[in-house]
Amino acid sequence: MSKELTSKNHAEYGEIISIIERAREDAFRAVNHELISMYWDIGAYVSEKVKYSGWGKSVVADFIRFIQSERPDIKG
């Protein structure tokens, strides 16, 4: 059964693999899009704080220490 079924349906199985690969690529693109959007939002927020609220050069180092102590589960 397995040899005949595999060879008989080889092309169709290849199409299923293509569907899986396209879905994976779409998922990676969606994740990358969201990460870029998040970084953009963080940058805009920090930029506004620097510009209008007097945040200084040490804000990034301060934030790193804050996030490490408050939310060590957040990485990246």
| pLDDT per residue as tens digits for the range 19-32 | 999 999 999 999 99
Q: Which pLDDT score, from 0 to 100, does residue 9 have? A: 84
| pLDDT per residue as tens digits for the range 20-66 | 999 999 999 999 999 999 999 999 999 999 899 989 888 888 988 99
CA-to-CA distance for 74 and 66, rounded, in angstroms?
11
Domain limits, the chain: 2-70
How is 42-54 classified by DSSP, letter by letter?
Answer: HHHHHHHHHHHS-
Q: Which pLDDT score, from 0 to 100, does residue 27 have? A: 98
Which pTM was predicted? 0.69
